[in-house]
Amino acid sequence: MASLDSLNIRNQLAEGVILQFGTDEPIAMRIRKASVGTVTSVTVTTATNIVLISSDGGTDTYAFATYTTIGAVADAINADGIFEAKVLDSLRSQASASTLVDGAIAAGTDANGVVVWDAFNDTSALLEIGATLSSNRDFDAPRARRVHLLQVVYSVNMGTAAADSFQVYLRRDTTETKVFGELSVDTTETTRTFDINGSLGISGKDGDEIFVRVKDAATLANAAGNFVRVYGLIE
């Protein structure tokens, strides 16, 4: 059982977080250079592969026919040791082929100043918009912390609202478990509150991540007004 001191420290370190993603904005996979050397390019050919070219690794090609899920692609990149990858606003079980935005990925920086290459989801091809609450979205986070999902607000231009198309998953290491599902709402700002009477909503253990998605079975428009907004607490 946690001591009173440790619980007080958690409370003092707690911070609110808001994530919001719209059309083609969720990050399926975040990549950084793990070894010495310079990066020439990181390129997605959406139906075929992701190719990472660097001065020390040469050309590292990850074919989607071989690594058929986003989780499998990330695991293969990590196993090679030239780059490091983490799955973010996707399920690890998401198909890798024809779900990512096509083309060269520009380098950026995460909140810790680490140079990264973000492979974004093509939301109209994937037929979903998702967001992941995590204490480790950025590289070199100091420690794995506990996350709580408090509220979700969304408006998504889908084909047809359907049962179990608004979903919440708990990710623990490489295991993903659906913990909530309900009827979606089409193109109307909709709020789902989980923090009721101070309950802190849906919670994980230290290091767990909470993934929220709004999906459709057939069509999801590239609408400018699409968004999924997640309110959470990290302690």
Provide the CA 39 distance to its chain's centre, in angstroms.
Answer: 23
pLDDT band at 21 (very low <50, low <70, confident <90, very high): very high
Rounded to two decimals, the pTM is: 0.92
At 196 the pLDDT is: 87
Q: Tell me the Ramachandran region of residue 64: left when phi exceeds 0, alpha when psi lies from -120 to 50, beta otherwise.
A: alpha
Provide the CA 226 distance to its chain's centre, in angstroms.
Answer: 17
pLDDT digits (tens, 9 = 90+) for 30-69: 999 999 999 999 999 999 999 999 999 899 999 999 999 9
Q: At 27, is the secondary structure helix, strand, or coil?
A: strand
At 141 the pLDDT is: 84
CA distance 113 to 138: 9
| Every domain of the chain and the residues it spans | 13-234
At 4 the pLDDT is: 44
Flag whether pLDDT at 142 surpasses 50.
Answer: yes
| 38 Cβ contact partners less than 8 Å away, ≥ 6 residues apart | 54, 55
**Tokens representing residue 39 in the block:** 């990066």
Q: How far apart are the first and last CA of the chain?
A: 17
